[in-house]
Amino acid sequence: MPKFTVLIIEDEKNIQTFVGKILKKQDYRVLYADCGKEGLNLIHSQCPDVIILDLGLPDMNGNDIIQEVRTWTSTPIIVISARSAEKEKVLALDQGADDYITKPFGTSELLAHIRTSLRHSNRLYTTDSLYIRPYRYEDLVLDFPNGN
């Protein structure tokens, strides 16, 4: 199985470390961002396979990150948040998040959500070492062949 890259955008170090250890134990490559701007830079430069996003970041609202990312990529976004109100969940999902997990959460649950996101993005079904998702900018869509 290829090594997938997961970006964790989370300002709480203890949660960041906890999630990172879980993912590394499962052989995921893990990237970390403490704030929204750093997260956006890593999304642009590293093209992660999955993004784990907290909504309550110090420099910007997580929903703004979702909107920004959705303008140019379909990378799966899993929101992990203490915000448990239905309207918060609906807003994040309507903005473009693929999944929403409420804190606290279990290890098995998190890993299952990540596997599901990878499966839905078809990333699990390619054996290519380099997988490039379609790139979108306004009305332009570039869909790169992936060797199949």
Q: pLDDT tens digit string along 83-95?
A: 999 999 999 999 9
Pairing relationship of beta strands 99-102 and 29-33 according to DSSP bridges: unpaired
Query: How many helices and strands in the chain, by DSSP H and E?
Result: 5, 7
Q: pLDDT tens digit string along 88-124?
A: 999 999 999 999 999 999 999 999 999 999 998 876 5
- The residue with tokens 């979108």 is 136
Per-residue pLDDT at 69 = 96
Residue 39 falls within a domain, yes or no? yes
**Is residue 80 a contact partner of residue 10, using CB atoms and an 8 Å limit?**
yes
For residue 24, give both structure tokens.
């590394």
Q: How far apart are the first and last CA of the chain?
A: 17
Q: pLDDT tens digit string along 16-51?
A: 999 999 999 999 999 999 999 999 999 999 999 999
From the number of C-beta atoms within 10 Å of its C-beta (0-12, 13-18, 19+), residue 121 rates as middle
Residue 9 falls within a domain, yes or no? yes
- Which of 90, 94, 98, 132 lies closest to 115, judged by CA? 98
pLDDT mean across residues, the chain: 89
Per-residue pLDDT at 26 = 96
Residue 133 falls within a domain, yes or no? yes
The CATH number of whichever domain residue 39 belongs to comes to: 3.40.50.2300
Residue 56 falls within a domain, yes or no? yes
Residue 147 falls within a domain, yes or no? no
Residue 16 falls within a domain, yes or no? yes
Residue 134: count of CB within 10 angstroms of its CB: 11
Q: How many domains does the chain have?
A: 1
Q: pLDDT tens digit string along 48-85?
A: 999 999 999 999 999 999 999 999 899 999 999 999 99
| Residue numbers of the domain that contains 34 | 5-142
Residue 148 falls within a domain, yes or no? no
Report the C-alpha gap between 29 and 5 in whole angstroms: 5
